[in-house]
Structure 1
């Protein structure tokens, strides 16, 4: 059989379309609150700070990480770094990025390409800080996917960190394949 005949036969024998299942029963009882988000993220090893102004971020970071050398804030730092060879970003001590949506049930935050400027940034930096508006905390991943809808960017990722792994002896290692720490700044 030729390729065209095979494709025509497949097209002719398609199953009928069916509606997607309702997911209403899967939403659970997680609250879409800062307190619920904090409980989960801190359980994962992250830190959460509620702040009134972005000017508080450098002060808190200086207290928590006194030895930071190279810090990139995607809203403040000139964007020339975004076009660097990703290997040139390997000496970033702290990346400060801005999340769009947070998920209380798992501590994840949605980061889109337009907010990162370089896809590798949250993964290559030694430490990661994410700024998230309190009003953008959702209860579940189902809620997050409903809000995000069709992704219109080339890249987006949910991050809940810091990264971690455990070996056979159950020795937990933070920062095994990404940032060693995650600090979330929740703005009002």
Structure 2
């Protein structure tokens, strides 16, 4: 028997001796976290480096920004931009569609999110909310406003909600930028915002 025949015979034998198929993993159901959606979402996002601040209205957000970001020496300009007109008292509006180079000195960007996912602490963002695709990546610090009623349990629910929606750009984002590529040492803000604060409206 030639080497070729030996190889083919071995392959055939391997196929004949395949193990019994394993059962598929248990997929979480939509009611997996329903009794504690907010808590699970907050715990998961905090666990990946984000910060959750519960608020009741826009005034709470404005006060938090004034007390937190205005007092911290982020940069001499303390430039804050937002796509949310409700926050125009503390941030620039009307920059959407401009060159991303004009956002190079943005210390804090505040945007809205379509919904959040309790399973992994991610928020779903599309270009209609970003102002510019580069906005959540080019800023030093990122803040996202999310209504607590817009939290789904799992990624399966998230994809069902997205469905056939049309958008040019979209992403799930969970926490600040981070990397552990070098010596498995975790670095925050490696390729994008150093912090991510989520204002959860309850």
TM-score, length-normalised on structure 1? 0.81
Answer with 1 or 2: which has the greater Rg: 2
Alignment partners' CA distance in 2, 1:156 and 1:38: 22
Partner of 1:110: 124
Partner-residue secondary structure (3-state), 2:132? coil
Task: State the match for 1:85 in structure 2.
Answer: 99
Counterpart of 2:108 in structure 1 is: 94
Instruction: Look up the match of 1:35.
Output: 39
Q: Which of 143, 156, 179 lines up with 1:129 in the alignment?
A: 143
Distance 1:121 1:112 in 2: 11
Q: Could you tell me whether the CA contact under 8 Å between 2:137 and 2:192 is conserved in 1?
A: yes
Q: Contact 1:37–1:105 (CA<8 Å) still a contact in 2?
A: yes
User: Within the alignment, does 1:53 sit opposite 2:57 as a pair?
Assistant: yes
Equivalent pair of 2:177/2:193 in contact (CA under 8 Å): yes
What is the CA–CA distance in structure 2 between the aligned matches of 1:153 and 1:100, rounded to whole Å? 12
Give the drift of 1:25: 4.3
1:174 to 188, 191, 194: 188
| Aligned twin of 1:74 | 83
TM-score by length of 2: 0.76
1:30·1:104 contact (CA, 8 Å) conserved in 2?
A: no
Query: In structure 1, how many angstroms separate the alpha carbons of the residues matched to 2:188 and 2:68?
Result: 17
Distance in 2 (alpha carbons) for counterparts of 1:162 and 1:62: 21
Deviation per residue, 1:110-163 (Å, 9 max, x gap): 011111121110111110000001011111111001011113111111111111
RMSD: 1.9
The SS at the match of 1:82 is coil
Q: Which runs of 5+ in 1 are unaligned?
A: 1-22
* C-alpha separation in 1, matches of 2:189 and 2:152: 26
Contact 1:103 1:109 in 2 (8 A): yes
CA offsets 1:38-75 (integer angstroms, 9 cap, x no match): 11000011100111111111221233332351111201
Structure 2, unaligned stretches of length 5 or more? Answer: 1-23, 86-91
Q: Is the 8 A contact 1:30 1:36 kept in 2?
A: no
CA distance in structure 1 between the partners assigned to 2:182 and 2:97 by the alignment? 40
